[in-house]
Chain A
Amino acid sequence: MHEMSIAQSLIRIIEQEMVRNRVDRLVRVKISYGRISAIVPEALQTAFQALTHNTHLEGAVLETSEIPLRAKCRSCFREFSGGDDLFVMTCSHCGAEFGHEIISGKEMFVEELEVE
């Protein structure tokens, strides 16, 4: 459901960038989203298709790529990647389980537009 409001925000940014660059056909938009952000790509696709239907953005491809979860261990200060279990993140260097700091994996970015 929140994908609707995320798609709306995305479209607002696309429109602004297209006006600024004086183009009116969008071929593709690339976004990236963090592993623990609330984006479910399939749901975002559906929302994007629904909101662009019958507009000048209709037919544009939404390309999504996931940014992995990376954390910095607060015990040994080294970086490590999240595994399958996002709730218990064990440092791959020293085995510490608690208090890690997220370095990436929360973001939601519009990367680039391909326009004509």
Chain B
Amino acid sequence: MQIKVLRNILEANQRISDQLRAMFKENKILVINLMSSPGAGKTTLLEKTLVQLKEEFNMAVIEGDIQTSNDAMRIAATGAQVLQINTQGGCHLDASMIQEAVSQMELDSSDILFVENVGNLVCPAEFSVGEDHKVTILSVVEGDDKPEKYPLIFAESSVMLLNKTDLLPYVDFDVDKASGFARSLNKDITIFPVSARTDDGLDDWHEWLRREVDRKKQD
């Protein structure tokens, strides 16, 4: 006997992600799912953003990157609320992990919740966590050649941050070429070249965040 099914394999994750999205919408919290390869600069960028926008916004972070154990401490040092998730070696965060984390946080007065995903450009792209935007960091030391096997992450991201631009003089990296990969399947992607070390370009990224927070509040 045949049974026709036609169900999305990731429907369970999608359902929880939708619940989270509704809850974040109700509470008017902008949620950013931050993804990159290991070491591209997610934590460093967050440290800068958390400090520089401190007076304007109440921000919280869910730390899911397991490469280095002191990421959560680096974030906490900025004064932001942070919760570390133990992914037990997993290669991505899923919506149920975020649901669990959020239940342990105090987000009533938060304007922005950043989720630092596991360092990996493939799997996190498949698992929504209730975010408004996926933001992918590509660092110029990774090279401008095919960033990873699958372009899905660029198709799904609202923003690509090209980080470590302070190192551009020393590496073989063509910003236009890398931007092309991202734009091929994503007309609307916004690309910000930045350096989380020298702060170069961060203003544009912060301006984008301000606009998105405003939009979320009016939503």
A38, A87, A115: the one within 8 Å of B125 (CB): A38
**Bound CA span A106–B186, Å:** 14
Does residue A31 face the partner (Cβ distance < 8 Å to B)? yes
Q: A87-B146, A102-B155 are in contact. Are A9 and B12 (CB under 8 A)?
A: yes
A37, A86, A99: the one within 8 Å of B183 (CB): A99
Contact yes or no, B3 A9, CB < 8 A: no
Does residue B213 face the partner (Cβ distance < 8 Å to A)? no
Which residues of B have CB within 8 Å of A97? 180, 183-184
Chain B interface residue bracket vs A: 35 or more
Does residue B126 face the partner (Cβ distance < 8 Å to A)? yes
Contact yes or no, A6 B10, CB < 8 A: yes
Which residues of B have CB within 8 Å of A114? 1-3
Q: How many residues of A contact B (CB 8 A)?
A: 38
For window 1-21 of A, CB contacts with B under 8 Å fall at: 1-2, 5-6, 9-10, 12-13, 17, 21
B3, B146, B152: the one within 8 Å of A37 (CB): B152
Instruction: Kindly count the residue-residue contacts between A and B in the assembled complex, taking CB atoms under 8 Å apart.
Output: 114
Contact yes or no, A111 B184, CB < 8 A: no
Does residue B181 face the partner (Cβ distance < 8 Å to A)? yes
Residues 1-15 of chain B, each 1 if its beta carbon lies under 8 Å from chain A, else 0: 111111111111100
- Interface residues, chain B, CB within 8 Å of chain A? 1-13, 89-92, 94, 122-123, 125-127, 146, 150-152, 155, 180-181, 183-187
15 contacts between A and B (CB under 8 A): A1-B91, A2-B92, A13-B11, A71-B185, A89-B184, A89-B185, A98-B187, A99-B183, A100-B187, A106-B155, A107-B8, A108-B9, A108-B126, A109-B6, A112-B5
